[in-house]
Amino acid sequence: MKPDPAHISAHRRLETRCCLQHWGAGSGLQRCRHTPAYERRSQRSVVCCSLEPGVRRLILMRHADSEVGDRAAVRDHERPITESGRASAQQVAVKLQQKGWLPDLIVCSNSVRTRQTLEQMRAVVRAFQAAVTHFRGSLYTVAALDGQMMRYLQKCIAEEAGELQASTVMCLSHNKGIQEAASGFHGQPIRLETANAALLEGRGDTWEEALASSWQLVDILTPET
pTM of the predicted protein model? 0.79
pLDDT per residue over 63-95, tens digit each?
Answer: 999 988 665 567 889 999 999 999 999 999 999
150 backbone φψ class: left, alpha, beta (φ>0; ψ -120 to 50): alpha
Instruction: Report how far apart, in Å, the C-alpha atoms of 29 and of each of 18, 128, 147 are.
Output: 10, 14, 42
Mean pLDDT in residue range 126-133: 96
- Amino acid (one-letter) located at 59: I
Tell me which of 78 and 15 has the higher pLDDT. 78
Predicted confidence band at 138 (pLDDT cuts at 50, 70, 90)? very high
DSSP 157-181: HHHHHHHHT-SEEEEEE-TTHHHHH
Mean pLDDT in residue range 3-22: 44
Element (H, E) at 95: helix 83-99
Tell me which of 173 and 4 has the higher pLDDT. 173
pLDDT at 69: 63
**Which architecture does CATH list for 46-221?**
3-Layer(aba) Sandwich (3.40)
CA gap 105, 14 in Å, rounded: 8
pLDDT per residue over 208-221, tens digit each?
Answer: 999 999 999 999 99
Query: Would you say residue 19 has pLDDT above 90?
Result: no
Domain spans of the chain, in order of start? 46-221
CA gap 38, 62 in Å, rounded: 35
